Amino acid sequence: MLAAWGEPGGSDLDQSGAVDGADLGLLLAAWGECPVSGVEGRVVAYYIEWGTYGRDYQPADIPYDKITHLNYAFADIGIDGRIAFFDEFAAIDKSFPGDTWDQPYRGLINQINNVHKPQHPHLKTMISVGGWTLSGGFSDIALTAESRSIFAESCVQFIRDYNFDGVDIDWEYPVEGGLASNVYRPEDGVNYSHLLQELRDQLDVAGEEDGVYYELSIAAPAGFDKVRHLECDRLGEILDFINVMTYDLRGAWDLSKTGHHSPLFMNPAEPGDPEIVEKYTVDFALRQFLDEGVDPAKLVMGIPFYGRAWGGVVDSENGGLFAAAGSVPAGTWDDWSSGATGVNDFDAGATGRDGIVQLLASGSYTRYWDDVAKVPYLYSPTEFGGHFVSYEDEESLGHKLAYLQNLGLGGVMYWEITADRDEALVDLIAESVMVD
């Protein structure tokens, strides 16, 4: 606290903008035994269906003992308004060792829910519907009481058929944002609440019949321009928890400047739109839900297991931070179909791919630290004409976990489990958040 005196940062307990005497007073007033936190210890990991292919990350590789919830991503919405498989072969047809020809279904879902989950009775699995590429049908299914009922009924049948413990809805996004091809309506935000309430009601009825409790969550936006369309107070009442996607706040879709894609706090030195600089942070994203009355114990902080990069960053002063860029560089898993994404896994392990851990080990990159935003970044003046990578590591994650504890939040969600092969971030989260 004394080292940060007069500056913004994690020791600014009253969020006044600077560490000062008021913060010292709060610290001294709390001196003594630590209060019991409101954290419920959720660790929510997304598993990507397509990870079974080129990434070769199979259900047996998932560290089930280090998570509390596994979200299977993603299911689609069919033209009939019901939940549908995206890749049916991977989901229920692909064969794994031990499978037989006459079992009800095979695939990733059988491996996760029927082979591995029974060995980890603490684990809950959720079918996640939507995501960036599959959100086009949400506006239509949320539109009427009939369409909402049909979709909810199909979700209940799906989790019963395939042994899931609940449903996670990932609508990107109501009213605006997301793919240009998505359907949008001004009433999407209100209809989203109605859709989730219908899901909650039908899950409760099914749970009573089945003698279990089925959970319901969403992946929620972090940007203020998208959150403003949500009825956050209602969502907080309906849902078991809300996974806030506190990442992708900057990216190479904007080449005018580099930046942090998951900064804990704002850095006033960042140029550009003052509202974006101030509000596109983890701190602001989470506080807007809290300010709308969401129970902190239901709020789950999103953590990125990947970096976002810019190429053509020729200004190497301060490692290229907030400098102009010229291109989108190739990412860890880019190929002919994806094109250059600028997305790098945190740790690609022994795959031979360029994860951030591997970039650092190459000797071509220098790690920098922004002590205001509390996040790291890499810079190489030689790769991709000047390669800047914003990412999460153990140090920045430590600051976020301390922040989570201070606010009594409900845990951590990360996207996604295949991107930390040696599990350094996985381990730190499990040790800090999960309760014995």
242-292 pLDDT, tens digit per residue, is: 999 999 999 999 999 999 999 999 999 999 999 999 999 999 999 999 999
In angstroms, the CA 169 to CA 167 distance is 6
What is the DSSP pairing of strand 411-415 with strand 343-345?
A: unpaired
Residue 26 lies in a domain: no
Q: What is the pLDDT of residues 157-177, one digit of tens each?
A: 999 999 999 999 999 999 999
Name the CA dihedral angle for 423, 425, 426, 429, rounded to a multiple of 10 degrees: 150
Residue 337 lies in a domain: no
Strands (E), 179-315: 215-220, 241-244, 299-304, 306-310
Rounded to 5°, the CA angle 93-99-104 comes to 60
Residue 289 lies in a domain: yes
The SS3 assignment for 366 reads strand
Residue 131 lies in a domain: yes
* pLDDT for res 36: 38
172 is catalytic: yes
Rg (CA), the chain: 22
The SS3 assignment for 251 reads coil
Residue 66 lies in a domain: yes
Two tokens, residue 222: 């972090």
* pLDDT for res 37: 39
Residue 286 lies in a domain: yes
Q: Are residues 299 and 219 in contact, defined by beta-carbon separation less than 8 angstroms? A: no
Structural domain range at position 65: 40-304+392-433
Check 40, 172, 270, 416 and give the catalytic one. Answer: 172
CA atoms within 13 A on the CB side of 255: 13
Alpha carbon of residue 21 to chain centroid: 36
* pLDDT for res 19: 78
* pLDDT for res 5: 77
Q: Are residues 405 and 37 in contact, defined by beta-carbon separation less than 8 angstroms? A: yes
In angstroms, the CA 104 to CA 110 distance is 9
> Which neighbouring-strand residues pair with 242?
218, 299
Residue 374 lies in a domain: no
Alpha carbon of residue 377 to chain centroid: 19
Q: Model pTM? A: 0.90
Which of the residues in the chain have pLDDT under 70? 1, 3, 8-16, 23, 25-27, 29-40, 435-436
DSSP-derived secondary structure letter, 327: B
Q: Specify the CATH number for the domain of residue 167.
A: 3.20.20.80
Residue 358 lies in a domain: no
Verify cis geometry, omega within 30 degrees of 0, for the bond prior to 74. yes
* pLDDT for res 21: 75
Overall number of domains in the chain: 1
